[in-house]
Amino acid sequence: MRDQAIAWFTLAQSGDISPQEHQQLQQWRQADPEHERAWQRLAGIPRQLQQRAAQLNNPVARNALQHTRTLDANRRQLLKAFVGIGLFGASAWQARDSLWLQGALADYHTVTGERRHHTLGDGTQVWLNTRTALDVRYSAGERLLVLHQGEIDILSGQDASGRPLLVHTAEARLRPLGTRFNVRSEPNGHGTLLSVSSGQVAAKPFTGGIEQVIPSGQQARIDQYGIAAPQPMDQSTTAWIDGFIVAQRMRLGSFIAELSRYHVGVLRCDPAVADLYLTGSFPLNNIEQIFALLEKSLPVRLQRRTQYWITVTARV
């Protein structure tokens, strides 16, 4: 679906779309609400990108459109063509895998501080945490969810045709066995954190090794080296679904790192106060209230360079 949306969008922006192609585009947009949603998402990409996309030679878009249903490589070819005209700048091809572009082109995504819930066609429910990009690739043989970044919580649905539900992250292939589970893709190569609320999830690293079943109430980290020994699941792991960060004697440094996921801009903790501890439930819908609680309950203050650059430091 994403591939088709990209190709249709590029052809429409070329300025040389035929009446027949325009009619086909309208039919495609009206055929499925998800098609229209994908179209609107691309239309929301900054105007500069749209203007530069119009420079793309329209036969390239038509050629990609003819094959997007079967060849994943065509999306890459199309994006490379964007790069060829300077659509994303000198280093744009590397930016294809950037957080921004993944979010802009993913089937489902959230921005900083946003959380969403979706019910998929098979009844599977997916909750998306902040800064998350998720693709849904259902086929005749499987139901595949690809988590590019961020965090999701999944309540798996029963598929009438018996297709297996799979979740892929950068590090692992996850196969739920009738379950609810949480998957967090850590940035900077820190791996995937799998937490199983109920049922079981079979996990296998892409780097090799045997498949390991993680039972209910356990969590395990998966990285390039394999699967770490499962540990009891931290019950605060899924508090974000209800709109909270729950801290139980949590280091302030760790708390601020977690809170920064929901804050637009830079939010950091001075090492001098990072080892202070705090306990409580903090509402994510009001970050300023959390800041006020920190200054009230701990010997710290907020140093604001700008609205978007905040450091938690020691109170003088």
pLDDT confidence band for 225 (50 / 70 / 90): confident
**Tens digit of pLDDT for each residue in 34-46?**
778 777 777 765 4
**Tens digit of pLDDT for each residue in 190-205?**
899 999 999 999 999 9
Residue 237, domain member (yes or no): no
Select from 71, 96, 121 the last residue of a domain.
96
Please indicate, yes or no, whether residues 159 and 134 belong to a single structural domain of this protein: yes
Instruction: State the residue for tokens 């921005």.
Output: 111
Please indicate, yes or no, whether residues 87 and 115 belong to a single structural domain of this protein: no
Residue 27, domain member (yes or no): yes
Please indicate, yes or no, whether residues 182 and 67 belong to a single structural domain of this protein: no
List helix spans (H) across 153-235.
none
d(C-alpha 313, C-alpha 296), whole Å: 13
Select from 44, 63, 96 the last residue of a domain.
96
* Mean pLDDT, rounded, of the chain: 83
Note the pLDDT of residue 274. 98
Per the model's pLDDT, the better-predicted residue between 45 and 311 turns out to be 311
Please indicate, yes or no, whether residues 138 and 225 belong to a single structural domain of this protein: yes
List the CATH number of the domain containing 294. 3.55.50.30
Chain CA centroid to CA 290, Å: 25
Q: Residue 130: give the domain boundaries.
A: 109-232
d(C-alpha 81, C-alpha 247), whole Å: 48
Please indicate, yes or no, whether residues 91 and 129 belong to a single structural domain of this protein: no
Residue 102, domain member (yes or no): no
Residue 278, domain member (yes or no): yes
Q: How much is the average pLDDT of 108-119?
A: 93
pLDDT surpasses 60 at 302:
yes
Select from 232, 257, 272 the last residue of a domain.
232
Residue 238, domain member (yes or no): no
- Amino acid (1-letter code) at residue 41: R
Residue 296, domain member (yes or no): yes
Please indicate, yes or no, whether residues 78 and 118 belong to a single structural domain of this protein: no
Per the model's pLDDT, the better-predicted residue between 274 and 162 turns out to be 274
**Tens digit of pLDDT for each residue in 238-256?**
999 999 999 999 999 999 9
Note the pLDDT of residue 1. 58
Task: Give pTM, 2 decimals.
Answer: 0.71
pLDDT surpasses 80 at 59:
no
Please indicate, yes or no, whether residues 121 and 211 belong to a single structural domain of this protein: yes
Please indicate, yes or no, whether residues 113 and 189 belong to a single structural domain of this protein: yes
pLDDT confidence band for 76 (50 / 70 / 90): very low
Note the pLDDT of residue 62. 54
Residues whose CB falls within 8 Å of the CB of residue 182, separated by 6 or more in sequence, listed in order: 151, 152, 153, 154, 193, 194, 195, 196, 197, 237, 238
Residue 268, domain member (yes or no): yes
